[in-house]
Amino acid sequence: MDVLAATPDWQRYVVLAPAIVIGIGLVAGVLILLGRAFADSVRGSGHGRLVYGGLVGLAVVVGVLTYLGVELPRE
């Protein structure tokens, strides 16, 4: 029988709190590492405005297609 399912909610949160904190820390660390690598890559490319313009353009295209209701085909 599952011990966590039989305990009250606050006890479940106390038991899971260390795992949640460690998980959030790992995700934040990876995002910081990837962000710094991306910033270094953009600085080294010499075409910073072009890279940022491409990212903004991609975000706009995704936003417009989402607004229009376009979906990817499912297999």
Q: What digits encode the pLDDT tens for the residues 29-65? A: 999 999 999 999 989 988 889 999 999 999 999 999 9
Q: What is the pLDDT of residue 2?
A: 60
Angstrom distances, CA of residue 47 to CA of 10, 11, 42: 52, 53, 7
d(CA 13, CA 1): 19
Where b means 16+ CB within 10 Å and e means fewer, 49-68 reads eeeeeeeeeeeeeeeeeeee
| Global pTM value | 0.61
pLDDT at 3 over 70: no
